[in-house]
C-alpha cells in the first residue's frame, strides 16, 4: 500500500491520472504498480483470477454477467467478475450462495458479535446508524468453502508453473 501512495518518481499518481482516460483502468493500474514495485515485481502469477464473458461480435467488449452465467462463473473458480448491472439478480444470488449474507447485509464473521449481522443498509433509520451493534475482531478472517477453493486454485497455478519471476518484463 505504501508503494501505491509514494512510489518512485510519483509513478502511482501519474499513472492514475493517465489511466483516467483509458477503458477499464483497473485492469492496468494495479498490474503496472505491482510490476514497478521492487517488493512484488518478482512474485506474480500469470492469471488475473477474473471471470469475464467476451462479446465475440464486438472486439474488446464484454457481455454483462447475469443469471445465465452463474454456474459457469462459479465453476471457473475466479475470485472476481465483471461487469454486472447494478440491480441484477445474479448479485443477490452471489450474496446468498457465495458470501452467505442477506442482500445488502453484512457478511457473517467474528467482526460483528452483536445484533445487526443481517441488517441491510435499506433498514437503517438514519445514515449514521451502525450495521453492527457490537464489533468484534475485524482481523479474524476464516475462509469459507469458496475461499478454500481459491487457495487450491492459487496452489495449482504455482504448481503448473504459472508463477514466474519475469512476468512483468514479458507482459507489462
- pLDDT tens digit string along 137-157? 878 777 777 788 888 888 888
Structure confidence at residue 95 (pLDDT): 86
Residue 72 confidence class, pLDDT cut points 50, 70, 90: very high
Q: With a cut of 50, say whether residue 119 has pLDDT above it.
A: no
Structure confidence at residue 120 (pLDDT): 43
Residue 70 confidence class, pLDDT cut points 50, 70, 90: very high
Structure confidence at residue 118 (pLDDT): 44
Structure confidence at residue 172 (pLDDT): 45
Q: Is 140 helix (H, G, I), strand (E, B) or coil?
A: coil
Strand partners, 96: none
Least confident of 48-52, 63-67, 95-99, 122-126: 122-126
Q: With a cut of 50, say whether residue 32 has pLDDT above it.
A: yes
Structure confidence at residue 65 (pLDDT): 93
Structure confidence at residue 124 (pLDDT): 45
Please measure the distance between the N-terminal and C-terminal CA atoms of the chain and give it in whole angstroms.
20
Kind and range of the H or E element at 81?
Answer: strand 80-81
- The per-residue pLDDT of the chain, averaged, comes to 75
Is the separation of the CB atoms in 144 and 100 below 8 Å? Answer: yes
Residue 60 confidence class, pLDDT cut points 50, 70, 90: low
Per-residue exposure over 54-87, b if at least 16 CB sit within 10 Å of its own CB, e if not: eeeeeeeeeeebeeebbeebbeebbbebeeeeee
Distance between CA atoms of residues 32 and 60, nearest Å: 20
Amino acid at each position: 500500500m505504501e508503494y501505491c501512495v509514494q512510489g518512485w518518481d510519483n509513478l502511482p499518481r501519474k499513472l492514475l491520472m493517465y489511466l483516467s482516460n483509458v477503458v477499464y483502468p483497473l485492469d492496468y493500474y494495479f498490474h503496472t504498480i505491482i510490476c514497478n514495485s521492487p517488493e512484488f515485481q518478482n512474485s506474480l502469477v500469470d492469471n488475473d483470477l477474473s471471470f469475464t464473458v467476451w462479446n465475440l461480435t464486438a472486439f474488446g467488449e464484454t457481455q454483462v454477467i447475469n443469471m445465465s452465467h452463474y454456474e459457469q462463473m462459479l465453476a471457473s473458480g475466479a475470485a472476481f467478475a465483471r461487469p454486472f448491472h447494478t440491480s441484477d439478480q445474479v448479485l443477490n444470488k452471489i450474496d446468498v450462495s457465495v458470501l452467505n449474507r442477506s442482500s445488502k447485509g453484512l457478511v457473517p464473521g467474528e467482526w460483528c458479535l452483536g445484533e445487526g449481522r443481517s441488517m441491510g443498509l435499506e433498514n437503517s433509520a438514519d445514515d449514521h446508524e451502525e450495521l453492527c451493534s457490537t464489533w468484534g475482531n475485524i482481523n479474524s478472517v476464516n475462509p469459507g468453502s469458496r475461499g478454500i477453493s481459491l487457495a487450491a486454485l492459487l496452489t495449482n497455478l504455482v504448481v503448473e508453473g504459472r508463477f514466474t519471476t519475469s512476468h512483468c518484463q514479458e507482459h507489462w
